[in-house]
Amino acid sequence: MNIPTDVRTSARKFVAPTSREALRLARQALGDEAIVLTNRVTAEGVEIVAMVQEDVEEVRASAAAAPQALPAAAPLPTPAIAPIAAPAAVPAPLAAESVLGELHSMRCMIEEQLAGVAWNEKQRRDPMRGRLLRTLLGAGFSARLSKAMLEHLPTGQSYAQGMAFVRSELIRTLPVHEDEDALLAQGGVYALMGPTGVGKTTTTAKLAARCVMRFGADKLALVTTDSYRIGAYEQLRIYGQILNVPVYAVKDAADLHLVLQDLRDKHMVLIDTVGMSQRDRAVSDQIAMLCSTQRPVKRLLLLNATSHGDTLNEVVHAYRHGSGNELAGCIFTKVDEATHPGALIDTVIRHRLPVHYVSSGQKVPENLMRADRAQLVDSAFQANSRSALFVPGEGDLQDGSANAEASAAHAEAERQRLQYRQLIRAMAHDAQEVAAAASALAAAPLGFEQARVLWRLAADEDVGHKAVLQALMAHATSEIGAGCDTHVLALSGQVGLKSDEGGDAYHCQGSLLLSDRSGLPLAAPNQWLSTAATRNATDPTRKPGVRQVQWLRQQDFGKTVVHVLPRLPAAELMLQWQVQRQQWMARVPGSTAVTDPRTGEYATLTGLDFSFGDPRAVVFKGRAALQSVAEAQVTLRTDGGLPGLRCVVTRVTDARSHKILAQSHALTNIGRDVPLQRLAQWQCWAAEAEPCLRLLRQGLSVLGGLGEAGDPHMMKRLLIAGQVTTTVWRLLQANGDWAGRTRALLSQLTGRPARSGRPVSGNVLYAGVGKLFFLLEALDT
């Protein structure tokens, strides 16, 4: 009996560098209903064997009708559609279980995406990149910064061209205080800090000598806090005698305060501090003592060029923070003794710590030089030891064994691969539910499809943050046009962030654009990142909300923008915004001082007599309550002729006892054309949406973290995380059975099934959306 169709002749083989490309070729040749029979990795690339669905069915039907005609020695091969959920046979039709079939056929793609954690595609295409990476590692640079520096290296470069690119990138990112004249002319009190043996006393003498040569000995004084080390004061006193500069010894904060008061006529005071290990808890006490004086003390950290990179990182973390007083900069010491000074440069780049001076010997003052970017970078590649026992050489890395970093990456990839295999097994029987959830999310007004597009861009190395910024602006304009009536509410906020490994503190300032119709976040078109040191800045233009107002003023969304601020802006900004016709609302405490509109006397907002309107029933913290609003025209008690403002008061009382449960105040310059009830509703919506801003931390974590200095995609991830946050928040607030089922499914994807009666948290939901994006990307043709 003849078999009309033989799978060995009707199946076709497709080979490509990646599984995605091989699948694309198969679908292009056989159509979207093609069935993948086998897939494997060969020397030529990824090999996929596929057939059209009709041929598979015909082969199976023929085999079932005449099994006795097949010779026992040569059985007809059954299409080996690789099972995922279990080793049992998997049904072939793709139409009825489209998502399940896709999951099966795309398993290779999913695994390849996970394997991307370990293998950098660019390095495989460009072997020179690997050689440059080894050069940077050999010079003392960390793997993270080295890879970031090579991120945008053009392909096809020679080694010399690559090194020139690396050199220019390092020079560009190395923070250096180059204006010594301005530094010395400014004067002030400087404390030299650092671990024991780093060279603080000698460096203090060198710096003192430069100051004496610049403006004379009578303008300088030296102070030491080192009462522990034998002869510490005597050593500095000898330097002081040579320079004809007075030297003072202090033992505690009160003593330091009195000495600095006595030295207030000195142009510059240099403090030689006690050397302490970075792991000594007394470091924080020393920093607190320096920060407690009325005369500001600028702290310079001394970094030993002979230290290991991890040690330097610990030192900076231990010494950098202190009661809002950040390090003013650093000084490199013992550079002449270093074999791998790249660790120094790596440390200051990652921590953005300006280098003031470089010390390279014991001579005073000759061996203290101003920091020069080019010289520092060049020294990192010229000082390598000829017998670098602790840095792997070219031969060490080519002996067939993987280095530690690659092994760790492989282990992480394998762990994630197993995790996602378990995930696929768990979800395979619910494939239709996954498809239904994806369809519901796409159909709902959540911005889901735009969020998914942005998610793809996060992994695209060829897309920069400027392109993402343009996409966000276009999306914001579209969302505002469809979701707002006459105004768009710009909720300003600030979120604290930390980098993944360095632990550097940042503040992210941004605006969530809310609908004036529903209060739901529609877009997050921009984010601003600054170091945490700016939180105590006295410049009013750097306060939270100000940068957002300035940027949004330049945009045209087709609606009037109302800036909803977390606190009252400075008087000069209110006057400026009044001229610019910027409309704003700000939450203020009841203790805000104003002029009583009825009596003309000074009062606080809580002291005014408000006439509240009819209450309406609300739910406040799970209990029945009544909400009523009132307003009054007030004038702030400040100089500068500020115009009158509308004070909006919202009061919530218990429905039974009428006891006041909550009361909030807001000031605004919005005119009477916007009714009181609407202003109160806007303020209420803004308060409810504030937690949405904090979801940015989770989104950034899901997208790969904040990264370190030199990471070219840090801002791109931040922008994408901000916009996806609006989608997650809207899904969190959505009503209906579909929304509940979708939230439960997304929670299940994270491995944390939702508990009955307990809502899914925003962080869990964000993680679930990220995993859903991953699955949909694996299914995408």
| 586 confidence band (pLDDT: 50, 70, 90) | very high
| 560 confidence band (pLDDT: 50, 70, 90) | very high
Q: Encode pLDDT of 537-548 as tens digits.
A: 455 555 656 888
> Across residues 165-170, what is the average pLDDT?
90
Q: Encode pLDDT of 110-121 as tens digits.
A: 444 444 443 345
Q: Encode pLDDT of 341-366 as tens digits.
A: 888 999 989 888 999 998 887 776 66
Q: Indicate where the chain has its CATH 3.40.50.300 domain(s).
A: 180-382
Max CA distance (Å), the chain: 113
Predicted pLDDT at 479: 93
Q: Which of 64-73, 627-636, 705-714 has the lowest mean pLDDT?
A: 64-73
Amino acid at 89: A
Neighbours of 434 (CB within 10 A): 20
Mean pLDDT for the chain overall = 78
**Assigned fold of 180-382:** Rossmann fold (3.40.50)
- Cα separation, 276 vs 198, in Å, equals 10
Do residues 119 and 147 make contact, with C-beta atoms less than 8 angstroms apart? no
Predicted pLDDT at 101: 45
Neighbours of 154 (CB within 10 A): 9
> Across residues 461-488, what is the average pLDDT?
91
Do residues 173 and 710 make contact, with C-beta atoms less than 8 angstroms apart? yes
Amino acid at 295: R
- Cα separation, 283 vs 297, in Å, equals 16
Predicted pLDDT at 287: 86
Q: Encode pLDDT of 14-32 as tens digits.
A: 888 766 677 778 878 887 6
C-alpha angle 305/310/314, rounded to 5°? 90
In the chain, % of residues over pLDDT 90: 24
Predicted pLDDT at 313: 87
Predicted pLDDT at 274: 83
Neighbours of 660 (CB within 10 A): 10
Q: Torsion-angle region of residue 216: left (phi > 0), alpha (psi -120 to 50) or beta? A: left
pLDDT at 62 over 90: no
Q: Tell me which residue of 359, 304, 350 sits closest to 141, measured CA to CA.
A: 350
Q: Encode pLDDT of 716-744 as tens digits.
A: 999 999 999 999 999 999 999 899 989 98
Predicted pLDDT at 487: 96
The structure tokens 């928040």 sit at: 729
Do the bridges between strand 593-595 and strand 583-588 make them parallel or antiparallel, or are there none, so unpaired? unpaired
Q: Torsion-angle region of residue 156: left (phi > 0), alpha (psi -120 to 50) or beta? A: left
Predicted pLDDT at 77: 34
Predicted pLDDT at 472: 93
Q: Which of 231-235, 382-386, 617-621 has the lowest mean pLDDT?
A: 382-386
Q: What is the DSSP letter of 544?
A: T
Cα–Cα distance list, 228 to 202, 239, 276, 451 (Å):
17, 19, 11, 59
Amino acid at 739: A
Do residues 582 and 510 make contact, with C-beta atoms less than 8 angstroms apart? no
Q: What is the DSSP letter of 292?
A: T
User: Phi/psi at 663 (nearest 5 deg)?
Assistant: -150, 130
Q: CA 270 from chain center: how many Å?
A: 37
> Across residues 657-682, what is the average pLDDT?
93
pLDDT at 750 over 50: yes
Q: Encode pLDDT of 360-416 as tens digits.
A: 877 766 678 888 888 888 888 875 544 455 555 544 444 444 455 555 555 555 555
pLDDT at 613 over 50: yes
Residue 13 makes CB contacts below 8 A (sequence gap 6+) with 47, 48, 49
- Cα separation, 676 vs 683, in Å, equals 11
User: Phi/psi at 728 (nearest 5 deg)?
Assistant: -60, -40
Predicted pLDDT at 706: 79
The structure tokens 């030891």 sit at: 385
Residue 327 makes CB contacts below 8 A (sequence gap 6+) with 299, 300, 301, 316, 319, 320, 353
**Measured torsion, CA atoms of residues 735, 740, 746, 747, in degrees rounded to the nearest 10:** 120
pLDDT at 690 over 70: yes
- Cα separation, 181 vs 178, in Å, equals 9
H/E stretch holding 475: helix 465-483
Q: Torsion-angle region of residue 707: left (phi > 0), alpha (psi -120 to 50) or beta? A: left
Q: Encode pLDDT of 68-124 as tens digits.
A: 443 333 333 333 333 322 323 333 533 334 444 444 444 444 444 444 443 345 555
Predicted pLDDT at 647: 94
Do residues 410 and 118 make contact, with C-beta atoms less than 8 angstroms apart? yes
Predicted pLDDT at 225: 85
Predicted pLDDT at 5: 36
- Cα separation, 525 vs 636, in Å, equals 33
Predicted pLDDT at 503: 66
H/E stretch holding 505: strand 505-515
pLDDT at 532 over 70: no
Residue 455 makes CB contacts below 8 A (sequence gap 6+) with 720, 724, 770, 773, 777
Predicted pLDDT at 86: 30
475-512 burial code (b ≥16 CB/10 A, e <16): bbbebbeebbeebbbbbbbbbebebeebebbbbbbbbb
Q: Encode pLDDT of 482-504 as tens digits.
A: 999 999 999 988 888 887 666 67
| 66 confidence band (pLDDT: 50, 70, 90) | very low
Task: Tell which wins on pLDDT, 427 or 340.
Answer: 340
Amino acid at 121: E
- Cα separation, 646 vs 70, in Å, equals 91
- Cα separation, 755 vs 411, in Å, equals 32
User: Phi/psi at 424 (nearest 5 deg)?
Assistant: -65, -40
Predicted pLDDT at 501: 60
H/E stretch holding 743: helix 737-749
- Kindly state the tokens that stand for 665: 């105040």
- Cα separation, 721 vs 504, in Å, equals 19
| 525 confidence band (pLDDT: 50, 70, 90) | very high
pLDDT at 226 over 80: no
Predicted pLDDT at 628: 95
